[in-house]
Amino acid sequence: MSVKHQAVLFETVADLLENGFSMQAALRFVVDIHGHDFQVLTPVLQQLAAGESLASALQAYIAVDLYYQLLIAEQHGALTATLIQAGHLMRTRTTQQQQIRRLLQYPILLLVVLFSTVGVVRTMIMPNFAAINPTPATGLTSWQWLLIGVGGVIGSCLLVGAAYLSRLPIRRRYARLARLPLIGPLVKAYCGYYLTMNAGMLLAGGLGLRGICEVSTHFKSQSLLQQQGAWIEHGLLAGQSLPDLIAADRLLPDELILLIGKANPAEQLSQELLYFANVQYQKLVRQLNRLISWIQPTMFLIIAGVILVTYMNILLPMYHSMGEILK
């Protein structure tokens, strides 16, 4: 399902559950009321009627990380709160996608006008000057070769980097992305929110650290929770302490060391982790909004660069031709 439809689904179901609806009745309401786009959830209703859990019924329609978050929430009695949080996250993503499209509309329009102008100058004006004042053909200038070379190197690096990251397990992929200057803080904030939220729910369900690691081993191997649990369990078996593991992990916020170091009872620690997960979520939203605010200035800088290159590539030779004509 699209992010927008997931936001509507989770928010509506959470609201109906809080008002006394059963899960099946809440899903039926969503399918009946929200139109054709939600008819794809009809098989979900059939699976719920057959006794399947919500997470299992929605598995084919949502991302694997969200699936395990719902699964853990169902098993440990925090489904409504998790649906509310998931709905807020999806709603935020939808709002930010709309904001990005809105910010890009004007710069993209300027780029279209600019490249159209360049095309008109090259195809209709420059040939006239060349016919009046023919000059011997020359190759590309040094700065043009430099631009082509820099663009080729950057493009090749991006392609190689994307291919390399796509082959990595998800936990190592996130760890690599967390080192990057722009998206690294976003990756760390998201992983801090996601892992802390699920750890808090598992603790609230009565599991200890060993139990959490044991539960995570039963998840699919491509999920972040399974790989994170396996990494922590391997470190503990190797004799490392949990604070040392947190300090060495790029995906976990350092504040967790303070929370775990207080040695509070499991119930209090779970509440603190859940609250801290909400703090990480708010941090993620702020960082995303800050990054979005840089989109339009960056686009205008790109446009300024294109204008400068266009001036050097087209207008300067045209002025030279005009000077030769005036002589």
CA atoms within 13 A on the CB side of 79: 17
Give 71-108 as a 3 state SS string.
HHHHHCCCHHHHHHHHHHHHHHHHHHHHHHHHHHHHHH
Q: Give domain limits for the chain.
A: 3-87, 174-293
| Alpha carbon distance 102, 90 (integer Å) | 18
| 259: number of Cβ within 10 Å | 17
For residues 221 and 121, the model is more confident at 221
Residues with Cβ within 8 Å of residue 325, at least 6 apart in sequence: 129, 132, 133
Could you tell me the sign of the dihedral formed by the alpha carbons of 286, 288, 294, 295, in that order? negative
Average pLDDT over residues 287-306: 84
The tens digit of pLDDT for each residue in 212-246 reads 877 887 788 888 888 998 898 889 889 888 889 98
Residues with Cβ within 8 Å of residue 299, at least 6 apart in sequence: 103, 104, 107, 108
Percent of the residues in the chain that have a pLDDT greater than 70, as a whole number: 89
The tens digit of pLDDT for each residue in 52-100 reads 889 899 988 988 888 888 888 888 777 888 888 888 888 888 888 888 8
Residues with Cβ within 8 Å of residue 284, at least 6 apart in sequence: 186, 189, 190, 193
pLDDT, mean over the chain? 83
For residues 115 and 279, the model is more confident at 279
pLDDT band at 174 (very low <50, low <70, confident <90, very high): very high
Residues with Cβ within 8 Å of residue 206, at least 6 apart in sequence: 76, 266
Of 316, 306, 317, nearest to 113 by C-alpha is: 306
Could you tell me the sign of the dihedral formed by the alpha carbons of 128, 133, 139, 140, in that order? negative
Chain position carrying tokens 């098989």? 43
Average pLDDT over residues 143-160: 81
* CATH no. for 3-87: 1.20.81.30
Lowest model confidence (mean pLDDT) among 9-18, 131-140, 255-264: 131-140
| Alpha carbon distance 228, 224 (integer Å) | 6
pLDDT band at 175 (very low <50, low <70, confident <90, very high): very high
Is the model's pLDDT at 318 over the cut of 60? yes
